[in-house]
Structure 1
Amino acid sequence: MRTLVGNTRALPKVVTAAVMLATTLVVLPGATPALAATTADGFASVTALGQQGTTGGAGGAVVTATNTAQFLDYIARPEPLVVQVKGTITLPTGTTDGMHKVASDKTIIGLGADARLVGGGLTIGQPADDRVTTPPANAVHNIIIRNLALTGATDDLINVQMFSHHIWIDHNDFSNGDDGAVDIKRGSDFVTVSWNRFHDHDKTLLLGHDDDNGAQDIGRLRVTYHHNYFDGSDQRNPRVRFGESVHVYNNYYRDNSYGVASAMNAGVVLEGNYFFSVNNPGRVDFSGDLGRMVSRDNILVECNHQVEVRGSVVEPRTYYAYSLNRAAEVPTIVPAGAGTGRI
């Protein structure tokens, strides 16, 4: 049975003086992979925190990594760099549990359709520290990761933490990590996760790591998730605490235990998504304090529960402009355009 769940009630916009409205390049209705964005969109496009959108290593040298030593050297350098990844690079476990730090002002992009990072993951951010409750001057920022397959990490595939901001994670393939695929936490902000494929993975997207971390997270964790293919990824697609606005639109969910969970008063706008065979597409009564969720124009097919809605949420259009595909187009458009080899 095909069920359409929508909420078309207009929501109040909250004006935030510190954040400027940014017009972004978006994927228009009927888009094909050839129209993939060349600049960051969503929250990663917003001018804030001294950063005018997300440009990565633009303006820096273009280098190509073909082995582990080159890759780890390039991503840790302090200057802007465009780091091209050729072939398969194995990330060692060593003393870091396989997590390797990426410095600010980097673009990491795979060449062709077979660029892969295996065995380890990437950390974006300073070391975790509960005592730091405001963005530090040395917060990691301005990073783009595109067109890479990341698999087999002994921890997270990508971990974003400690007030890192302006991150664009786009057109990647994530699978078989031991923990999260893309975890965003500890005050990180202005992030877009777009056109990725997640498969053969359990705990996919964590946004806000702990129920007791409001001091770092409240008023931050503004993240856009759009046109991602949750291809049998089991849970946390995403699982949200505290963040507002969290914008989840035009994603394709197939065979998941749950789609989006909002808790600890997080504010999620869920729109234009297609859910097929998902037990719980959207939840606000999950664990911890209740979250908030607005649902509009989503399609649910063979799902066991409706989307749970509660309260109002700051509109994403307060921050940036965007255009939606029709939800009915999502099962065709997203698998055709998400993942590697399409930019």
Structure 2
Amino acid sequence: MKSNALNFSGGPGALPEIVIEQTRNAIDALPETGISVLGMSHRSDWFYAVLAEAENNLRALLGIGQEYAVTFLQGGSSLQFAMIPMNFAAEDSSPPEYVTSGYWSARATAEAARVTSRTIAWDGKATGYRQLPELHELDIDPSAAYLHYVSNETVEGLQFAAWKSDAAVPLIADMSSDFLSGPIEADRFAMMYAHAQKNLGPAGVTVAIIRRDLLERIPDGLPAILDFRTHVAHGSNFNTPPVFAIYVLNLVSRWLRDSVGGLDAMQAINARKAQRLYNALDSMGDAVAIHAARPWRSQMNVAFTFGDARLDQAFVALAGEHGMVGLEGHRSIGGLRVSLYNAVTENAVDSLAELLLSFGKSRL
């Protein structure tokens, strides 16, 4: 029997059990209103309170002040790939610079080219996206509009060890798959954004946190819905927002605050989970190939293969018999992938590691 507790999918990913229970009840009827969350108006006082609490919870968890605007948008990171250059590739600056470190950052780099001139500051394609650069060592034009990178590559299982760059230009990060997985030095960023379905909640909402001085460089004449200033001015309620997704995001933020105890505690849990899984894989020696080079291994996504598609498929089938789901690798590289998002428990990772070791002994 499949289990929410054993969901290792790359996205949509696992949700905390308490959040699933609260959401199930809210679909029937919210305790505050007696109406299903699926039928609540985005103009109701109840929803304005949800927006306010979700913003306040994110500010508290991340330690960000009013110099940043917090917005809840739609369209996922894919829309941000276009909106960011539309808004921030200023005519009086040099082209923005992009780090291309994997599948998703390559998508961002390509989309930016549809909107503006841009420079590729670093590209890992030649080495199969198995390693990452040191951001502070990149040769960035000091007059560039901004530097964009993806903090964690979900497909290849790569993660930047440090959340910072010494570049003098505004730093913009797509944090979709490791947002809220641990504390960050938020004041180093001009913009951070993350779509839900990893650590935030169900798909449908994207959080964009933007330093207010960056908003001043947005050109006039953009379509209103593609102008970040519109969403800031309307408190994320310019058009009908994804009420349900934002409600569940708020429940997740409460869980992180009240049950987990904040992002330092979350980071410690995630580090233990990743170490347990990598230890199991490393103990299998050459029988397993982990995609990412050791210094850049992700705590969120572990991509690997047994070197034979039949063995990979056999393990997915065996895991399914034990209730484990979501272990298939991304279509672009195949193999296997284990996603260790916040809601994946340490017990779940222990069970998976034990099954991997048992599989190795019996099949390899």
- Shorter chain as denominator, the TM-score bin is under 0.3
Taking structure 1 as the reference length, what is the TM-score of the superposition? 0.28
Taking structure 2 as the reference length, what is the TM-score of the superposition? 0.26
- Indicate the structure with greater strand content: 1
Structure with the greater alpha carbon radius of gyration: 2
